[in-house]
Chains A and B, each alone.
Chain A
Amino acid sequence: MAVHLRLVDVVKRFGATTAVDGVSLDVEEGCFFTLLGPSGCGKTTLLRVVAGFHLPDRGEVFLRDRRITHLPPQARGTAMVFQEYALFPHMTVEENVGYGLRMRRVPAGQARERVRRVLELVGLVGQEHKYPHQLSGGQQQRVALARALVVEPEVLLLDEPLSNLDAKLRLRVREELRELQRRLGQTTLYVTHDQEEALALSDRVAVMNAGRVLQVGTPEEVYLRPRNRFVAEFVGMANFVRARWVGPGRVQAGGIVLRVGEGRTSGGDVLLAIRPEEVRVRTEPGDGGPNLLQGRVQSVTFLGPVRRCTVETDGLRWVVDVQPDVRVEAAQEVYLEVPPERLRVVEEA
C-alpha cells in the first residue's frame, strides 16, 4: 500500500515544553491509524500539526508527495472531528454539514445531493433542519463526522471523538465508525487515550508518551509484544519481574529460577512482563511443569468477568486473574503456572 500521510521528525514546542519530540510516522492509504497515549503525551498536538493549526518547529508533513508542512489549514484537504464537536450553533444540521462544500464553492444542487448522501450514511436523515442544541450527544457526534466526511478529505482526523458519549453509546458509535471507515476506505488518523478503543478500531496503533512514539504496530503487536515497560503498562496491565540471566532461557528473580521463551545466554539484568490473565492459577501442584511456583494469596477482588488476586511467591508479587467460578480466598495456598513463552523481555524505558 502506498503511504498517504508521512510525518518526518516533527518537533513542536510550546515555550519551554516540548509537546512533540521528533516523531516520524507513515500512514498507509485506507489505514485506520491511532495515536494512543496518556493526556499530555503530545498526541493531540501532533494531530493539530497535521491539520495545520500548529506549525511544527522542525520536521515535515507530506500528503502523498505533496509537502504540506506550512500550508494553512483550509488548503490541506484534511477534515477534522473535534473532541467537543465544534458544531456551528447558529447553523442547522444541513448548513453545518454543507459548510465545507460552500467554502469549496461546490454548486448548490450538487452540494445538496452530497449532504443528503452523507446524512444517509451516518443515519441523520430527517434531522436536516434542526440546530445542534436540539440534538442528542450521539447525534451531534454524527453531524461532526458527516461534516468532515462530506468534503471527501484526503485524511480524516478525529480527536477523541467518543469521549463525550456515555459508555453504551460509545461502543455502538465505535462499531459504526469502524464499519464506515472500512466501507469508504478512508485514511484516518485517530487520537485517543483509551487503549480498548484503540485496539478495537485500528489497523495500526502508535503508542506515545512524553512527545515520542514508543512503538508502532498492529493492535495485536502492541498488545502481545510490547517493546517496553510503558507500552506494556499502558496497553493493558502487566506484571513486571526484575531478573538476571543465569543461562540460556533461564533467569533468576528473587529466590526462583524461571524459564523464559526468548533465549539469551549472556548475563546481565532483564525486565520481564506478563499479563494477569496469562498466569494460570491451580489449587493442586498437578504434574508439575516449567515455572510452577508455590505461593499464598494476599487479596482477592471480584471484578465481574474475573477474580483478580495478588499472590506472593518467594518474594515476588503477582497480579493474576482467575475465572469467577474458581473459588480463591485470601491466605489460601495456590500454585502459579507462568508460561515461559508469555514472559516477554521488555525495555525499561
Chain B
Amino acid sequence: MLAGRVGALVPGVEARRQLADPGLALAFLAGAFALAVFVLYPTVRVLAYPSLQDYLSIPHSVRWVQAARNSLLSAVLSTTTAVAVGLAFAFATTRPDVPGSRFFRAVALLPLFAPPFMVAFSYILLFGRQGLVTRHLLGLDVNIFGPHGLWLVQTVAFFPLAMLVIVGVLESISPSLEQAARNLGADDWQVTRTVTLALARPGIAGAALVVAISVLADFGNAVVIAGGWPLLATEAWFRMEGMADLRGASLVVAMLVVPTTALFLLERYWVGRKRYTTVTGRGGRLERPPTYPPLKWASFAVCGVTSILVLLVYLGVVAGAFTAVWGRDWSFTLDHWRLAADRTPSLWASLRVAAGAGAVTAVAGILLAFLAGRPLPLRRALDFLAVLPGALPGVFVGVGFVLAFNRPPLELVGTPWILILALAFWHLPLGYQAAAAQLQQIDRSIEEAASNLGARGLHLLRDVYLPLLSRAFVEGFTVSFVRAVTNVSIAVFLVSPGNVVATFAILNMIGNGIWGGAAALTTMLLLVTFAVLAGARLVVGRALRPAGVG
C-alpha cells in the first residue's frame, strides 16, 4: 500500500524511461501545467475566495437558504420526472415492438441540440401569458414563470440524458435472460419486473445522478423561466451582475459545487461499478420476447405526449422568428431577421469562440488521454483533473475564471481568450473521453510493432496515434464547438463589450421582450449547430451528440 503510494509520486523505472524522452517529458509538463492552471487553479480560487466567516454565515442568510432549498426541490422534482420519462423512452426505443420505437429515439435526441435556454424560451412563447397554445388556442390565462414552469422545462430538457444512460443498460441485458425467465414460468409482467427492471436498477440510479447534476447546474432555463424564484445557479449571476458582489457569487457557486461534485463522484465510482455486466457472448442474435402489453402502451403514451412537447420546442422558436408581434399580430414577417442580422457580429464572435474552444478541447483531450494511458507519474491525478470539469456547473467555471484571471500574471478578462479557455477546459472531459475511447480501440500490438521498429515517445504519438486519432479530434472538436456556441452559463460571466456572443445577445433580447429577434437569432444558432453536426457526421461517419452538464 505504502509502496504503491510512494511509487505514484517517485517515478519508477518505467516512468523514468518514459520521461527520458524529451518530447514526451515536455508534453507531460504541458499537460500537467494546463490542467493545473485552467482546471485546478480556478476551482481552488473560487473555494478559497470567501472567508471562513462567509461560509459560516450561510445558514443565517435567508436568501441563500431559500436558493439552496429551491435548487434542491427542483433537483428532486425535475430529476424524478426526467428519469421516469427517460425510462419510458429507453424502454420504447429498445423494444422494436413498441409502435413508433425508432421515431421516439430520433425525437428524444432533439433537446440535446437545443441551446440551454431554448426549451424555456419556446414554452414561454407557447404556454405563457401570451402563449399560442394556452392563450390563443385554449383561451387560458396561464403564468408559466416560476417553479412549475421550470419543472416542466427541465423535464423536457434533461430526460434525453436519462434515456441515454438507461438505454445503454437495457441494451446490455442479454435477451437470453428474459427467455430463461419465461422458460422457467414467468409471465410477461414478471419477466419485466424480476429481470428487466431489476437489472436496469443501477442504470436508473446512474441516470438520476447525471440528470440531477444537470438540473442543479441549469442556468439557461432557470434564468429565463424561474421568474423571481431564487436558485443557486442564477443567484451567482444576479450577485455579479447587479452588485458586482464577487464574494457572494463565489459563495453561492461553492454551495452549488458541493452537491454536483458529490453526485458526480457517486456516479463515477459507485454506480459505475455496481452495473451488472451481462455480456455473455452469443446472446445478441436472439430476439427479445414480446413486451408486456400494458407496459408497451404506457410507454407509448408517455413517449407520444413527450414527443409532441419536444417538437413544440423547435416549432415555437421557429414560429416566433416569423411572427410579426407575438400574442397580438400573427402575420408573417421577416423583420426579425433584419434585427438578427444587425447582431451578426455577435454570431461571428460566437463562431470564433466556439472554434477556438473546440480546437483546444480536442487537442488537449487527445494529449491528456495519450499521457494518461502511459505509465507516467501522477497519471491518476491527470485523469481525475481531466474528468473533474464534468462535475462543475457552468456558473462555477464562469466565476472561477473571473477570479483566477482578472489580474496578472494571467490577466485575460476583457479578451476573447478567457471565454475560449473556460469553455475549452469545461468541455475537456468530452474530448478526453472521446480520445480515450479511441485509444482503447488501438491494439497495443500496433504500438509495440512501431516501437519495435524504432519509433519512440512522441514519434509514437505522431506516427501511430495521430492518424488513428483524427476521428477523436473531430468528435472532441464538434461536441465542444456545439456546446460552446450555445453556451450561456459561462458566457454571461466572461463576455466583454467587444466580445458579445450570440447567446448573450439572445438572453438580453428575451429579457427585454424582443421575442421575435431572439427567436430569429436562436434559429440561426440552430442552423449553425446542425450544419456543424452534419459536417462532422460526413467526416466521422457517425452521428455525434453533445451531452452533459448545463
Chain A contact residues, CB within 8 Å of chain B: 51-53, 72-74, 78-80, 82-90, 99-100, 103-104, 133, 147-148, 151
Q: Mark B176-202, 1 if CB is under 8 A from A, else 0.
A: 110111111111001000110011010
A89-B282 contact in complex given A82-B176, A99-B194, A151-B184, C-beta closer than 8 Å: no
Offer 15 A-B interface pairs, CB within 8 angstroms, sorted by A.
A53-B287, A53-B289, A72-B187, A73-B182, A73-B183, A79-B183, A84-B176, A85-B280, A86-B180, A88-B180, A88-B198, A89-B199, A89-B276, A99-B181, A104-B185
Option from A52, A85, A103 in Cβ contact (under 8 Å) with B184? A103
**Beta-carbon contact of B187 and A80 below 8 Å:** no
Q: Is the CB of B278 within 8 A of A89?
A: yes
- Report yes or no: A79 in contact with B184, Cβ–Cβ below 8 A: yes
Whether A100 touches B184, Cβ cut-off 8 Å, given contacts A84-B174, A86-B174, A89-B277, is yes
CB distance from B260 to the nearest CB of A (A): 29
Q: Indicate if the CB atoms of A80 and B180 lie closer than 8 Å.
A: yes
Residues of A within 8 A of B190 (CB): 103
Cβ contact of B282, chosen from A73, A83, A147, cutoff 8 A: A83
Contacts of B199 in A (CB 8 A): 88-90
Bound CA span A74–B180, Å: 9
> Given the complex of chains A and B, what is the CA–CA distance between A103 and B286 in angstroms?
23
Partner of B276, one of A79, A86, A90: A90
B283 touches A (CB below 8 Å): yes
**Residues in B neighbouring A88, C-beta threshold 8 A:** 177, 180-181, 195, 198-199
- Residue contact A86 to B186, C-beta cutoff 8 Å: no
Nearest-neighbor residue (CB-CB) of B176 within chain A: A86
The answer to whether A74 touches B177 (Cβ under 8 A) is: no
**A74 x B198 contact (CB < 8 A):** no
The CA-CA distance from A86 to B176 in the complex, in Å, is 6
B541 within 8 A of A: no
B59 sits at the interface (CB 8 A) = no
- Contact partner of B180 (CB less than 8 A), chosen from A52, A82, A133, is A82
> Does residue B513 face the partner (Cβ distance < 8 Å to A)?
no
CB of A74 within 8 A of CB of B174, answer: no
With the chains together, A51 CA to B289 CA distance in Å? 13
Write the chain B residue with the least CB distance to A164.
B281
**Cβ A84 vs Cβ B282 within 8 A:** yes
Q: How far is the CA of A72 from the CA of B182 in the complex (A)?
A: 8
Min Cβ gap B20→A in Å is: 42
A-contact 0/1 string along B288-304, CB 8 Å cutoff: 01000000000000000
Which chain B residues in 143-162 approach chain A with CB under 8 Å?
none
Report yes or no: B186 in contact with A74, Cβ–Cβ below 8 A. Answer: yes
10 further interface pairs, Cβ-Cβ under 8 Å (given A86-B174, A89-B276): A73-B289, A84-B174, A86-B177, A88-B195, A88-B199, A99-B184, A99-B186, A100-B185, A103-B190, A147-B184
In the complex, A151→B181 CA distance in Å?
Answer: 12
- What separation, in Å, do the CA atoms of A191 and B470 have in the docked complex? 47
Cα-based distance from A74 to B178 in the complex (angstroms): 11
Nearest-CB distance from B188 to chain A (Å)? 9
Cα(A79)–Cα(B181), bound, Å: 10
- Which residues of A sit under 8 angstroms from B174, Cβ to Cβ? 84, 86
Q: Which 3 residue pairs across A and B have the least CB separation, nearest first? A: A100-B184, A103-B185, A84-B280
Q: Which residues of A contact B198 (CB under 8 A)?
A: 88, 90
Residues of the A chain whose Cβ atoms lie less than 8 Å from the Cβ of B286: 53
A158 to chain B, nearest CB (A): 12
Q: What's the minimum C-beta distance from B166 to chain A, rounded to whole angstroms?
A: 16
Tell me if A73 and B179 are in contact (CB < 8 A): yes
A residues near B281, Cβ cutoff 8 Å: 84
CB-CB under 8 A from A73, the residues of chain B are 179, 182-183, 289
Docked complex Cα distance between A103 and B181 (Å): 9
Collect the chain B residues with CB atoms within 8 Å of residue A74's CB.
182-187
- Complex contact A86–B179 (CB within 8 A): yes
Residues of B within 8 A of A151 (CB): 184-185
Report the Cα distance A73→B186, complex, angstroms.
Answer: 9
Pairwise interchain contact B186-A103, C-beta atoms closer than 8 A: yes
Contact partners of B282 in chain A: CB under 8 A: 83-84
Contacts of A83 in B (CB 8 A): 282
Q: Which residues of A contact B181 (CB under 8 A)?
A: 88, 99, 103
| In the bound complex, CA of A133 to CA of B190 (Å) | 23
Chain A residue, CB-CB nearest to B181: A99
- Neighbouring A residues of B182 by C-beta, 8 Å: 52, 72-74
**What's the least CB distance linking B8 to chain A, in Å?**
29
Measured between C-beta atoms, what is the minimum distance from A95 to chain B in Å? 10
Contacts of A148 in B (CB 8 A): 184
Bound-state CA distance A100–B177 (Å) is 13
Assembly CA distance A78 to B184 (angstroms): 8
Q: What 0/1 pattern do residues 251 to 287 of B give for CB contact below 8 A with A?
A: 0000000000000000000000000111011110011
Query: Cβ of B184 and Cβ of A84 under 8 Å apart?
Result: no
**In the docked arrangement, what's the CA distance between A44 and B181, Å?**
18
Among A52, A74, A80, A86, chain B packs the most CB atoms within 10 A around the CB of A86
Q: Which of B185, B195, B278, B280 has the largest number of chain A CB atoms within 10 A?
A: B185
* Residue of chain B at shortest CB distance from A78: B183
Shortest distance between the CB of B276 and any CB in chain A (Å):
4
Of all chain A residues, the one with the shortest Cβ separation from B190 is A103
B142 vs chain A, min Cβ distance (A): 45
B287 nearest in chain A by CB position: A53
Q: In the complex, A99→B283 CA distance in Å?
A: 20
CA distance A88 to B196 in the complex (A): 10
- In the complex, what distance in Å separates the CA atom of A103 from the CA atom of B190? 8
Q: A86 touching B184 by the CB < 8 A rule?
A: no
Closest to A51 in B: B183
Report which residue of A52, A87, A103, A148 has the largest number of chain B beta carbons within 10 angstroms of its beta carbon.
A103
Task: Give, as a whole number of angstroms, the nearest-CB distance from A70 to chain B.
Answer: 14
Complex Cα distance, B182 from A74, in Å, reads: 5
How long is the Cα–Cα vector from A147 to B281 in the complex, in angstroms? 20
Chain B hits for A99, CB < 8 A:
181, 184, 186, 194
B201 CB to nearest chain A CB (Å)? 8
- Give Cα A90–Cα B274 distance, bound, in whole angstroms: 10
For residue A103, which residues in chain B have a CB less than 8 angstroms away from its CB? 181, 184-187, 190
A100: nearest chain-B partner, CB-CB: B184
Docked complex Cα distance between A82 and B286 (Å): 12
Q: Which residues of A contact B278 (CB under 8 A)?
A: 89
CA distance A52 to B276 in the complex (A): 27
Kindly state the separation between the CA atoms of A84 and B279 in the bound complex, as whole angstroms: 10
A82 and B278 alpha carbons, distance in the complex (Å): 14
Tell me whether B184 and A53 are in contact (CB under 8 A): no
Residue among B177, B184, B282 facing the most chain A CB atoms (10 A cut-off): B184
